[in-house]
A and B are shown apart, each in its own frame.
Chain A
Amino acid sequence: DIQMTQSPSTLSASVGDRVTITCRASQSISSWLAWYQQKPGKAPKLLIYKASSLESGVPSSFSGSGSGTEFTLTISSLQPDDFATYYCQQYNSYPLTFGGGTKVEIK
């Protein structure tokens, strides 16, 4: 299985901050990576697919980059609605696997 490691596990930030979350794969996954946002009691929401493609309806403040084994999710200016947990997911090979999550908290 491909292991996905996210860092940090928790991030404290303020409204307006630029935030970066890192996701590393245990082997190359090309660009087959997705990012999700999850709020308590809700299903995850797709933000980014194929490492850098913005899902329809997602604010342009979200962006993704990377290929191979290292990827980043950036929020250019953190908004109150962005405080949540973020997950990466690889879909290069089965079984599909997720990172452990990064909780973005209010500083």
Chain B
Amino acid sequence: QVQLQQWGAGLLKPSETLSLTCAVYGASFSGYYWSWIRQPPGKGLEWIGEINHSGTTNYNPSLKSRVTISVDTSKNQFSLKLDSVTAADTAVYYCARNIVTFGGVIENAFAVWGQGTMVTVSS
């Protein structure tokens, strides 16, 4: 059974860089896209971006200038960096995996999620 376990710093000061890592257990890294999604306290979900095993990325244009998602296939891990954080970046950050349906069709719905990491930006 596939599991995602994530970790990273939970308290940052404005202008610092957010850094989170998600490890994949029990599943092949290839054949899927691996995403980061965030949720500010009491608010809805925002997709940040995704990466596949070969390093191909897609980013949300609203964050693209500050986001880097990378992959380390040797460790079955992928990571998120978000530069120059502000209080508006305070949120629970999730890593997630998309689904592959019958016939091998990749669909960007998320069936597997990490446990979430609360990141607070405060001076």
- Mark A residues whose CB is within 8 Å of B: 1, 32, 34, 36, 42-44, 46, 49-50, 53, 55, 87, 89, 91, 94-101
Task: Looking at the assembled complex, report how far the CB atom of A59 sits from the nearest CB atom of chain B, in whole angstroms.
Answer: 16
* Contact A95-B111, Cβ < 8 Å, known A50-B101, A89-B45: no
- Mark B residues whose CB is within 8 Å of A: 35, 44-47, 58-62, 94, 96, 99, 101, 107-111, 113-116
- Are B44 and A89 in touch, CB under 8 angstroms? no
- Are A97 and B47 in touch, CB under 8 angstroms? yes
- Are A95 and B60 in touch, CB under 8 angstroms? yes
A49's partner among B35, B60, B101 (CB-CB below 8 A) is B101
Q: Which residue of B lies closest to A91 (CB)?
A: B108
| Chain B residues within an 8 Å CB radius of A100 | 44
B111's partner among A42, A46, A91, A96 (CB-CB below 8 A) is A46
* Contact A95-B44, Cβ < 8 Å, known A43-B113, A43-B114: no
Interface centre among A42, A43, A99 (most CB of B within 10 A): A43
